[in-house]
Homo-oligomer: A and B are copies of this chain.
Amino acid sequence: MHTGNIAKLAEKAEICKVLIFPGMKIALVQLNYRIGDFDGNIVKITEFIERARREGAELAVFSELSVTGYYPQDLLERQEFIAAAQAATEKIAGHCHGIAALVGAPVLNEGERGKKLYNAALYLADGKVKDLFCKSLLPTYDVFDEYRHFEPNKSFHLLEAGGEKIAVTICEDLWDEQPVQYEFGKDKLYQCSPMEELAKLQPGLIVNLSASPFSVDQEAWRKEILTRKARQYGLPLVYVNQTGAQAELIFDGGSLFIGPDGKILREMAYFREDFLIIDTACSQEATFQPGAGKIGKMEQALLLGIRDYFAKTGFQRATLGLSGGIDSAVVAVLAVRALGPENVRVLLMPSRYSSSHSVDDAVTLAQNLGIRYDNIPIQASVDSIYRDMAPLFGDLPHDITEENVQARIRGVLLMALSNKFGCLLLNTSNKSECAVGYGTLYGDMNGSLAVLGDLYKTEVYALARWINRHEEIIPHHSIIKPPSAELRPGQKDSDSLPEYPILDDILYQYIELNFSPEEIAASGFDLPLVNKVIRMVNLNEYKRFQAAPILRVSAKAFGFGRRIPLVARF
């Protein structure tokens, strides 16, 4: 053995020295579950338990509520659901011979008081459920509803496995100090710090079973929180997240193994399933995933969001209306990338106000993507509706009514295609439009899934440029022309809205940062303009109430995570 090798071994020993945990081979299993699909989830989990054993792991760690999929919401109130989860857990335990596993599942609170359930991590070994660790910190904000269903745990113990002592925590348990997303937020949302309690029991390792949904900043926050916890307690940390989309919520995976010095040693794949065995005693050199920028991550998230929505609802094919504008162009590209060109077909539905450009751009895009397109001019049907209503409308001037009729006839045609051929309709509204109500309810707001509903218009532009970075897939003209709904002659979005960079900045400060009108104005806008925008946001709550589910990519998306009363005056 020559000196080079000796030097390497010495270096390796140096790395091992900082790990106070004497050593265990642990499999990190990052999977995509379907909520309530117990049979499917059992198969997935047991297959990976087999693989982990085959590859020499002593313990396989799965993500939070892995047995049920995260998050089952009010299915947790059904006795047969809980019974099925329990049966599934026992079935999985039956496979744990020669290896142990930590899986997530709801368990009954046998106490006289409190919510019916705990959100638990179950330790499976020797064919049985051997130990149980319940979640203490229950996120109940934004998209999270956990206190709706679960009782917080208040007593702590360690997992003793293979002669080692492990602090088993579940997701939010490590988030007792949070990054504050806006000034009025609080960084310590809970009365208790589970790791403070567990640290008193002197563990050698932290394990965290997680279900942490994607938003563009989440990866950075997560790494900050987790590395800080590892460093603070001088303990290695195994973090297993789920991946896959559950309708609006997209889980990005990115599971981690972190050293006791807070350095990330292993990082698992993003937006797909992954499997990794680590040896806590002797780490290899650190390996990371290739970095992705904000827009690249958004694209991956949206692709997973589309793919899983179709897979999990049992549909293969999608449709949408292609207007020649940028929003529908981006959705078409994403749909083709997620589902394949053979599974996407589109309608072009020009009216008398559609420019010839628009039709040309839409055709070019469809040809670039190799998807079927059909051109159905809407004017005849729109005129038929006008004739129907003429006796009632008399000489009243054309107004937004007639604009909406055009959007709604397009909606009728798209839904007819959808119904006849079993294609899910993709909605193409963006977050800026959703915010200010620049869209027609039961018209262009139709759809099973709003692909871009959490991207501001300026982000849609950035995504279009990203898509075109190697070649012109989306016609250049769709990107550079002034945005227009083309519902009346010469109409431009800027007739009724501020330019998008200004609008989006105001919206971001109002919606994401929760800034007051005065604070927003202080960043360089006229207060009347700010108030006008905010008024539009608030007046259109009723439209968003009936909007399609929106793929969430920001820390504050419209929908389930933002609950505003319909009849408020504020």
Contact = CB atoms under 8 A, between A and B. Distances in A.
Contacts of A114: 186, 188-191
A298 to B, nearest CB: 21
A84 B408 CA distance: 40
A74 B564 contact: yes
Contact of A569 (B34, B563, B570): B34
Interface residues of A, number: 98
Interface in A15-62: 34-38, 40
Interface in A527-570: 542, 545-549, 560, 562-570
7 contacts: A36-B569, A75-B568, A79-B184, A113-B191, A115-B186, A140-B147, A408-B442
A526 B389 CA distance: 49
A35 to B, nearest CB: 4
A502 interface: no
Complex A-B, nearest 8 residue pairs according to Cβ-Cβ distance, in ascending order: A36-B570, A312-B567, A247-B566, A401-B419, A80-B516, A79-B184, A35-B568, A37-B569
A528 to B, nearest CB: 17
A317 to B, nearest CB: 14
A182 to B, nearest CB: 8
Contacts of A465: none
Nearest to A374: B392
A569 B37 CA distance: 5
Contacts of A441: 415
Given A72-B568, A566-B549, A374 B401 contact: no
Contact of A412 (B69, B141, B412, B517): B412
A415 B247 CA distance: 29
A312 B312 CA distance: 40
Contacts of A567: 34-35, 246-247, 308-309, 312-313
A190 B152 CA distance: 11
A20 to B, nearest CB: 30
A116 B191 contact: no
A171 B241 CA distance: 39
Interface in A460-483: none
Contacts of A183: 79
Contacts of A313: 542, 566-567
A405 interface: yes
Interface stretch (A93-101, A378-386, A451-459): A378-386
Contacts of A384: 380-381, 384
Given A80-B516, A248-B566, 14 more contacts: A34-B567, A34-B569, A37-B569, A75-B570, A80-B517, A113-B190, A246-B567, A247-B566, A376-B389, A376-B392, A380-B388, A401-B420, A412-B442, A560-B563
A412 to B, nearest CB: 5
Q: Which among A116, A148, A309 has the highest number of chain B CB atoms within 10 Å?
A: A148
Contacts of A189: 113-115
A116 B547 CA distance: 30
Given A114-B190, A567-B308, A567-B313, A419 B448 contact: no
B80 A416 contact: no
A71 B565 contact: yes
Given A381-B385, A413-B388, A546-B546, A78 B184 contact: yes
Given A116-B184, A148-B140, A565 B385 contact: no
Contacts of A188: 112-114
A409 interface: yes
A357 interface: no
A391 interface: yes
A159 interface: no
Interface in A122-180: 140-141, 145, 147-148
Contacts of A420: 389, 392-393, 396, 399, 401
Contacts of A74: 562-564
A352 interface: no
A565 B113 contact: no
A442 B419 CA distance: 13
Contacts of A546: 546-548
Given A75-B565, A384-B380, A570 B81 contact: yes
A498 interface: no
B569 A312 contact: yes
